[in-house]
Amino acid sequence: MIEVRQTDKQHLLLVDGVVVSDNERSPAFGDSIYFHLANEAVAKRIFEHPFEDLPKNIKCLWIYYSDDRVPLLNQIIIKQDDREPQHIEFELRFDFENWSEQWSIADYGAEVIRSGADMWNSGVTVEQKDELVSNGIAVKFPLPESGSIKRYIQSCLERVHELHRATEASLNEAAAAGSVVIRLNIPDAIRVPCEQYLLYFAEFLKDIGIHAIASINHDHNATLLSIIPANKNEALEKIRQALGAYLEIPSIADHQIPPAGDLVAQKLWSNIQHLRGQLALSAAIIEAKDATIRAERAKSTTMNLQAFLPAANNERSEGEDEEKALGGILIFKKADTKIGVAISLAEIVRKFRKVISL
């Protein structure tokens, strides 16, 4: 049983004889009664009742509620105010401090309203809480006069979840049209250092002449890396090729230390060494070699370093007992009876610049 009791100073909300909420009586509200519930366990006890048990003199019942399927869900509001159509409202709120999506809050707000209009009839509405989308989105369903509160809430939550997924899918599709997006499967043990290396790619692009924004999101256990060029006219295919080569570089056996004056190659070398050091500290070198770091683009194009580089051209360096191949990128050195292979990062950077400028 759900009931409201009044004292001289308060309204009390009771569920099965237990007080679960109270508020101060105010002349400003007259006979209108409002309650806030911050305890989800109490809310679920209310949901076990039918709508017929809900006192009609409760004009508004705010219930703070969360659902893993709809991370933006902040609260459920039951409104029985005669001054507007009675409804159940699912309020979506934005976390400014932790917002890390590749689209803005304004973009999400506009798309969720558009998606809601496309998906449902006039009985359900999706709208901003007020003139600022940052203050939240309201998804409103008609309030039944009878039936199970729990079943109706669950049915509404399914539809809000469907709306959220449709909104994200549309935004992802729009973002992918003007960006390079890859999906990487990285073991948890090495996820942090690998993601640091991925984020450095945007700075590396800047160093070779392309300004872009790199962002990382997660879909279940996968890492999603998005590269959005500042200039929409930048050739995305060139960025894809550069990224494919960039992902291959750390797996090459050895790298020649860049000359002191080449800051771009030195920064790249430093980041590769940092990545390798972190993998070693995690005791994951062997695991890293076998880890499934697979870059998948929309058209499933396989990228590799060999395809990115020009045809092999063997050159002998004067004064040194060494052979160069692949335009100077591979350096074969002879020391006594051993032959070693080093990678010239400085030459790789020059090749990057040349291809990007084509």
pLDDT tens by residue, 295-324: 444 334 344 434 443 444 444 444 445 555
Domain of 217 in residue numbering reads as 180-306
Distance CA 87, CA 143 (A): 4
The low-confidence residues of the chain, meaning pLDDT below 50, are 28, 284, 286-288, 292-320, 325-327, 329-341
Assess whether 190 and 300 both reside in one domain. Answer: yes
Mark whether 153 and 296 lie in a shared domain: no
Residue 127 near residue 84 (C-beta atoms within 8 A): no
Pairing of strands 58-64, 87-92: unpaired
Assign 296 to helix, strand or coil.
coil
Residue 312 counted as domain residue: no
pLDDT given at position 189: 79
Query: Strands 58-64 and 33-37, how do they pair?
Result: parallel
17 shares a domain with 102: yes
Q: Is residue 318 part of a domain?
A: no
* Domain identity same for 59 and 129: yes
Both structure tokens of 257: 């230390």
Taken as a whole, the chain contains a residue count of 358
Residue 191, in any domain of the structure: yes
pLDDT for 174: 75
Are residues 129 and 246 both part of a single domain?
Answer: no
Do 115 and 233 reside in the same domain of the chain?
A: no
165 plus 185 within the same structural domain: no
pLDDT for the residue numbered 152: 94
What pLDDT shows up at residue 137?
94
Residue 124 belongs to a domain: yes
Residue 220 structure tokens:
């279940």
Note whether 230 and 259 are same-domain residues.
yes
Q: Are residues 106 and 153 in the same domain?
A: yes
Structural domain total, the chain? 2
Which residue, of 176, 198, 220, is where some domain finishes?
176
Is 123 contained in some domain?
A: yes
